[in-house]
Structure 1
Amino acid sequence: MLDDLPPDLHRLETLRMWHALWLDRIDAKIARLRAEGEQQACAVQQRVERAPEWLLERGIGHGGRPVEVHCGDCHAAGKRRQGISAEEARRALADGVPACTHCRPDTELGVLEG
């Protein structure tokens, strides 16, 4: 059996106290990281719940012209986008803004071409 601990009670008690203090620090950090993880998960959930139902993607530049209409959860929507209402999405499609070919917002909104 490996016995590399000090032979006297005083040093053993000192080691025990030192390790207890470290365990307290480790437990406190674990609790803090768990709380931060829960807060981040909650923030992500709130962002998902507040995701717009429809997106309008815009072109490059300040006030870029609309280039495509997307469903709110479309993976193909670019970075230059803004959330819009269903009525605004229908109006954009009627004004000639193309519908995304991946998520097909025109089909979802019941807008027929022609």
Structure 2
Amino acid sequence: MSEPLPPPYPPDDERLADIETYLTVQLKYVRQARATEARRREIQQRTAPPPPPPYRIQRGLDGTRAPIKVHLGTCALAGKGAAGASEQAARQALADSVEACAVCRPDTELGLLDG
């Protein structure tokens, strides 16, 4: 039979007190780090930008500001001036012969491909 392992801690009270102090300090560090991380996460969630709209409708620069292209909400070609639009508004714009972006293909996403 194998011999028992030695005890993991020293037998005398003085060294046990030192270990207890060390572990107490470490526990305080861990709790402080967890609290800091929770505050950081909370701030990040409050200040995170809203998700992009599902679709964007790009308008012309002329006086009429007529819709000229429909994009997915995440398309980089939509530009900052493209207004967010719902799925229904994007479908209506495509049905009204507004061009679909050739890069992000919102017509494919909406299932409106010409066959």
Measured against the shorter chain, the TM-score band is: 0.5 to 0.7
After superposition, where does 1:49-88 map in structure 2 within 5 Å?
51-61=52-62, 63-88=64-89
Identity of aligned residues (%): 44
Measure the CA separation in 2 of the matches of 1:42 and 1:84. 24
The Cα shift of 1:112 comes to: 1.9
When normalised by structure 2's length, the TM-score is: 0.57
Q: TM-score, normalised by structure 1?
A: 0.57
Q: Deviations over 1:16-75 (max 9, x none)?
A: xxxxxxxxxxxxxxxxxxx8xx84x44552423xx2001000011455000100000001
Q: 1:56, 1:92 → 2: CA distance?
A: 8
Count how many residue pairs are aligned between Structure 1 and Structure 2: 78
Code of the residue aligned with 2:74 in structure 1: it is D
Pair 43,69 (structure 1): closer, same or farther in 2 beyond 3 Å: farther
Task: For 1:1-12, list aligned pairs within 5 A.
Answer: none
Match of 1:93 in 2: 94
- Is structure 2 residue 87 aligned with structure 1 residue 111? no
- Equivalent residues of 1:69, 1:93 under 8 A apart: yes
Structure 2, unmatched stretches of 5+, are 1-38
Gaps of 5+ in 1: 1-34
Quote the offset at 1:78 in angstroms: 2.0
Q: Alpha carbon RMSD of aligned pairs, Å?
A: 2.6
The question of whether the paired residues in 2 share the 8 Å contact of 1:55 and 1:82 is answered with yes
Q: Which runs of 4+ in 1 moved over 6 A?
A: none
